[in-house]
Structure 1
Amino acid sequence: MKYDDEVRARSYRFRDEYVASTPAWYRGELHLAFTLLFTGGVIAWCAMKLQAPTLAQWLAIVPIFLFGNWAEWAAHRYVLHRPTRLFSMIYKRHCAVHHRFFTHVTLEYKGQKHWRALLFPPFAPVAFVLAAVPFALAIGAVFTKNAGYIALMTMAAYYLMYEGLHTLSHITDSPLLDRMPFVGTVRRLHVTHHDPELMATQNFNLTFPICDTLFGTRSDAPREVRSPVEGRR
């Protein structure tokens, strides 16, 4: 298709420029390791702080998870895909880098330098957890300390889940992942989101498509997580 060929050509030109401009000190493995160690460390620290949590306290995960799903959808739709004065840098990083590097026909990543365009910047998990701390403190003050730790742990776990599913969604030509319940659906929906003509209107939930379904932004277009044309990279 002419449209796909044009999108693919533009994406590969941008990829070459972006990879060439990557600082020599950058290592994708360290980028990924920091994300995993920091969020995993927050989860482990919160778990160690818990003191005989009750079932009712564990059930706090449900409303926090649902709030996280809405926050994921709203931030993706209204911050990452709409230019605003306050969050212009985040918008540019997402649309002018991530969505130019990865399209519905160039979804794959190869080599550690590609992780720079795939993952959120290293400061993102730190900023996310710091932003969650006041809410966790408020929950801990109103209810119990256990509830506060569970809230922070849930938010950190949500971030980790997002990055994990996002990474899986950029692995191409994997029949195993395509057949996996839930993961296959997430991967299919994410391909549609990376179509340049649909990215600002469809599939803003990268994890569970709850808010996409509720607010009418879910698109189940029959797409596959495709590899690039043979002979290119």
Structure 2
Amino acid sequence: MDWIERQRAFQQRYRQGVSPAYRGPWHAAAVALFGSGVMALALVQLESVSGWQWWTVAVALLVANVLEYVAHRWLGHRRTRILPLFYQRHSGDHHRFFTHQDLLCRDSRDWRVVLFPPYLILVISLGNALVALGLGRWLGANSGWLWLATTVAAYLWYEVSHFCWHLPATHRLFRIGFFASMRERHRLHHHPKRMNRINFNITWPFTDWLLGTGSLSPSKDDDHCGPSS
């Protein structure tokens, strides 16, 4: 049985296991509304932000990118005692549902295997609120609020980006070079022989570049790794 046949068989089993009550748009809306609410709450607290405090945004984005990479590479693609459910959902479900030969969601019920569970936005927000509290006491309240707003925005951008990379390659979004490049990076990451080695960043490939794991080139040793849907 080749990759396509295994993928189709898994997709069928996975879709049969999705609750009839699941609605992809509701899932996405719940995450977007909660995250946007947290961001708005943080931003309205800002008062007379100092120039140096704006650097909190840059630091938060860099930290978010590194953590995105670390979680994806070492928790999503390695079975460990830390967050085993994350490994199962990512390598066990997501990478079996989508391969480099077929990245596409067929309908909104497939969004369940692309988006994180809705409760995770709550966990991310609470965790970063604790960090923001510490920063607020150390560097001033503005730094804490900027940290919280930026990290939640980074999480939402991850969800939006990942969703977009599973749209058809012909979508007009991919007329923009950066988006087309990131989709191709993600497609190559979904090759079963390469998923543990390349393209772990989803939003922008900073940490992939830093650690030398970024690639836009199909491997000569991998069959069926040309352009696909």
Match in the other structure for 1:226: 228
Matches within 5 A, 1:1-233: 6-174=2-170, 176-222=172-218, 226-227=228-229
Contact 1:107/1:225 (<8 A) preserved: no
Match in the other structure for 2:222: none
1:143 partner letter: L
Contact 1:103/1:195 (<8 A) preserved: yes
Q: TM-score, normalised by structure 2?
A: 0.92
1:119 partner letter: L
| Equivalent-residue separation in structure 2 for 1:145 and 1:130 (angstroms) | 17
1:42 partner letter: V
Root mean square deviation, CA, Å: 1.5
Q: CA deviation at 1:178?
A: 2.8
Specify every segment of 5 or more residues in structure 2 that has no aligned partner in the other structure, as ranges: 219-224
| Equivalent-residue separation in structure 1 for 2:102 and 2:34 (angstroms) | 30
Match in the other structure for 1:230: none
1:134 partner letter: L
Q: Deviations over 1:137-188 (max 9, x none)?
A: 1111101101100000000000011111111111113253333132111111
| Equivalent-residue separation in structure 2 for 1:213 and 1:22 (angstroms) | 37
| Equivalent-residue separation in structure 1 for 2:53 and 2:40 (angstroms) | 17
Q: TM-score, normalised by structure 1?
A: 0.91
SS of aligned partner of 1:49: coil
1:79 partner letter: L
The ranges of structure 1 where at least 4 consecutive aligned residues each deviate by more than 4 angstroms after the TM superposition are 222-225
Contact 2:75/2:82 (<8 A) preserved: no
1:179 partner letter: R
Q: CA deviation at 1:115?
A: 0.8
Match in the other structure for 2:221: none
| Equivalent-residue separation in structure 2 for 1:214 and 1:147 (angstroms) | 27
2:177 partner letter: P
Identity of aligned residues (%): 35
| Equivalent-residue separation in structure 2 for 1:157 and 1:10 (angstroms) | 36
2:228 partner letter: R
Q: Specify whether residues 177 and 221 from structure 1 end up closer, same or farther in structure 2 by C-alpha distance, changes over 3 A only.
A: farther
Contact 1:29/1:112 (<8 A) preserved: yes
2:112 partner letter: R
Q: CA deviation at 1:36?
A: 0.7
Specify every segment of 5 or more residues in structure 1 that has no aligned partner in the other structure, as ranges: 228-233
Q: Specify whether residues 207 and 225 from structure 1 end up closer, same or farther in structure 2 by C-alpha distance, changes over 3 A only.
A: farther
How many correspondences in the alignment? 223
